Amino acid sequence: MTPAMRDDTDPWWDHDDPGVETVVRFDHVGLRYDLGPEVFRDITFALPTGSFHFLTGGSGAGKSSVLGLCYLALRPTRGAVTLFGHEVTRAPRSVLPRLRRRMGVVFQDFRLINHLSAMDNVALPLRVAGVGEGAIRRHVPELLAWVGLADHLDARPPTLSGGQKQRVAIARAVINRPDLLLADEPTGNVDDRIAMRLLHLFEELNKMGTTVLIATHNEQLVGRFPYPRLHLEDGRLTWHAPEAAPLAPPPAG
């Protein structure tokens, strides 16, 4: 049974498919910032290994907070978060680097390091993981070429357009072939054509085994891909079957 075959009335997270490991699992998770109101109070879902999900909802619905809980920038105020089979709700700081090295995150605001070149920005996850400079010089230009930035290896982020920055951010997120890719509005700054191209890039990565969760408010875009959708509204999370049939491969370019 794949997630795509389930519907709202079937709480699929209650069915632990044998053999299907979950990469991310939220059990009755609630979150509030300091003494403010709860952003959400009881969210439960699971992302099976190798799955591809969209996370939708209006602005302020808490999409970024869900992603923040996934990459452990935030800790739940109630409930439990499990990553790669480890309960991490109260995991000590010391284990975070190891977990984060298995993830790629595309931030809504890119979070590139402005004084580093595109090449060095993309190389960061490899350097942090202690990969040698030889391997970095082989792989990073290759990936930047793949996202169409072969001519911008030495460019610094302030000199790049929004779309180019986004692609550098995406390249940085996927350079170490993460087990989990989290992307926050990764198509927010690009036109439709590039948005489609970037999503196809995520699809490629997903085919190689990466679990993908993409937060977006672009319902139109979501409708063009055959993947299930987690929808956040009024602090509640609902699961929706894919609306689109699998698409033909996109036109090149």
The contact set with another protein (CB under 8 A) reads 71, 73, 75, 93, 96-101, 103, 105, 107, 111-113, 115-116, 120, 124-125, 127-129, 172
For another protein, the closer of residues 9 and 114 by Cβ is 114
For another protein, the closer of residues 15 and 98 by Cβ is 98
CA–CA distance from 193 to each of 61, 75, 109, 147 (Å)?
27, 36, 20, 13
Q: Which residue has the tokens 């890719």?
A: 181
Rounded least distance, CB 225 to another protein, Å: 26
Rounded least distance, CB 240 to another protein, Å: 29
**Distance between CA atoms of residues 129 and 114, nearest Å:** 21
Rounded least distance, CB 170 to another protein, Å: 14
How many CA atoms lie less than 13 Å away from 189 in the CB half-sphere? 18
For another protein, the closer of residues 35 and 248 by Cβ is 35
Rounded least distance, CB 75 to another protein, Å: 8
For another protein, the closer of residues 15 and 111 by Cβ is 111
Q: Is 82 helix (H, G, I), strand (E, B) or coil?
A: strand
Edge-to-edge order in the sheet of strand 86-87: 38-48, 22-32, 78-83, 86-87
Nearest CA among 49, 91, 10 for reference residue 213: 49
For another protein, the closer of residues 15 and 138 by Cβ is 138
Rounded least distance, CB 100 to another protein, Å: 4
Contact predicate 117/156, CB 8 Å: yes
